[in-house]
Amino acid sequence: MALQFSLATAAPEAADTACVVVGVYEQGVLTSAAARVDSASGGAIKRQVESGDISGKGGSTTVLYAPAGIAAKRVLVVGLGTQKGFDAARYQKVAIEAARALGRLPLTEAVSYLAEVEVPGHDAAWRVRTAALAADHAAYRYTATFKPREKAAQPELASVAFAAGAEVQGGLDQAIAIAEGVRFARELANLPPNICNPAYIAAQAQAFADAHDKVSCRVLDHVEMEQLGFGSLLAVGRGSVNKPKLVALEYKGGADGVAPYAFVGKGITFDTGGISLKPGPGMEEMKFDMGGAAGVLGAFVAAVKMGLEHNLVCVVPAAENMPDGDSYRPGDVLTSLSGLTIEVLNTDAEGRLILCDALTWTAQTFKPQAIVDAATLTGACVIALGKHASGLFSKYDDLAGELLAAGERTLDRAWRMPLWDDYQVQLDSGFADVANIGGKSAGAITAACFLARFAEGQRWAHLDIAGTAWDEGRKGLATGRPVALLAQWLIDRH
């Protein structure tokens, strides 16, 4: 269930709600909202600070129940850490922990005063938007019906109001739209692979298009793709009974004749590695190998919900990589849609093989002003950057700068990696124009270099989200990244 968000104007001591949320720094420094609550309650917060029960440590939470002099039934005091050095990342962390603490309480509503906390370099609209997105992320529950949901034993948080003026309504509206896109991406990626296959992704895209006036959807099946020459994409899906699809959503939010922006997302709905079979342990996580597709679809949803005045296309090559008597093999030579031939050295380097045909088709069909692809492409990127930053590759400094700035603003951060021609020699083949892997070293870079050959002449960037698209472990969920980054990039294009 999505949280409902609104703005509130009541003073913190006068807000008639189940809980008000205020912040306290270390060394007992109270924010203005906390100071007002403290004064109205006869020092209820300061007494707990002095006793050590409220430390102010970043992300810590303490609940005061029914303090005298306060209209709210509870006060949630959130630690902000040291006042010196308080920054955007700490603000986001505090907002997430506050939302988690609210979720543990038996209440349906709350009013947060965290948006009043000053964050250097960011205005009130940013603070409201970031706090709302953090709350929605923390409140997310996987809702598919395969696991019976226990009936809630207590009321559940359903709405949060943020104390701020009407001038920040635009920021809140953006948060509501981006949160919807993030949930769309997370739900799609979390689904089991026996449900979320290429046909399911196509159906979800079509349903979204049917529900929105300015959106249209086109789906190419394997027969149409074969006629057009998608030799690389089709090879990957040959071993599966779930046939590949190419899904293209188009949003006409801008003027007629203006070239669109384009997103392309890797949609491997399950990746066994094919004939180059992956090890068994952890293979169940390969349902997340369509995280790039989920991310660009979520960003598309966010853009439409915000009503951005852009033309936008979102292309998802969707396939399942399975071992079978008809699977493609190491040693095969494929002819891509672009005409370039590819020697397959490893069938587990399949994401680039579906993306290369999708990039070619997107460029030819829509002639976009920029293409950004997102893909859970390489384990090498996880080794290089861990789980915090997505890898960003582009030969266009301006485009790379725009995407990095969008990542910093949303805290959905990326880090630029080299895309130098020096690495291209690792992809040399004696039997085709290019090999699909470049050896052990610089794996994320050589994968991006492979894609670059199919984006010649395009203003193109690649996001490797293998480390950021989901949280590892048996209970790890999709994160919804890079929806926020891509949505912000589009917002900034005005």
Q: How many CB atoms lie within 10 A of CB 379?
A: 13
Angle between helix 351-366 and helix 443-452 axes, rounded to 10 deg? 30
Predicted structure pTM score: 0.97
The set of residues, in sequence order, having a beta carbon less than 8 Å from that of 59 and lying 6+ positions away, is: 78, 79, 81, 93, 94, 96, 97
One digit per residue, pLDDT tens: the chain, 494 residues? 689 999 999 999 999 999 999 999 999 999 999 999 999 999 999 999 999 999 999 999 999 999 999 999 999 999 999 999 999 999 999 999 999 999 999 999 999 999 999 999 999 999 999 999 999 999 999 977 666 666 656 799 999 999 999 999 999 999 999 999 999 999 999 999 999 999 999 999 999 999 999 999 999 999 999 999 999 999 999 999 999 999 999 999 999 999 999 999 999 999 999 999 999 999 999 999 999 999 999 999 999 999 999 999 999 999 999 999 999 999 999 999 999 999 999 999 999 999 999 999 999 999 999 999 999 999 999 999 999 999 999 999 999 999 999 999 999 999 999 999 999 999 999 999 999 999 999 999 999 999 999 999 999 999 999 999 999 888 899 999 999 999 999 999 98
The residues annotated as belonging to the active site are 278, 352
- Rounded to the nearest 5 degrees, what angle is found at the Cα of 125, between the Cα atoms of 38 and 78? 30
The CA R_g of the chain, rounded to the nearest whole Å, is 24
Are the CB atoms for 204 and 318 separated by under 8 Å? no
State residue 474's pLDDT score.
Answer: 86
The set of residues, in sequence order, having a beta carbon less than 8 Å from that of 371 and lying 6+ positions away, is: 262, 263, 264, 359, 362, 363, 455, 458, 459, 460, 461
Alpha-carbon distance 300 to 217, whole Å?
A: 12
DSSP secondary structure string, 36-49? HHHHHTTSHHHHHH
In one letter, which amino acid is 421? Answer: D
Work out the burial of residue 424: count CB atoms within 10 Å of its CB; fewer than 13 is exposed, 13-18 middle, 19 or more buried: middle
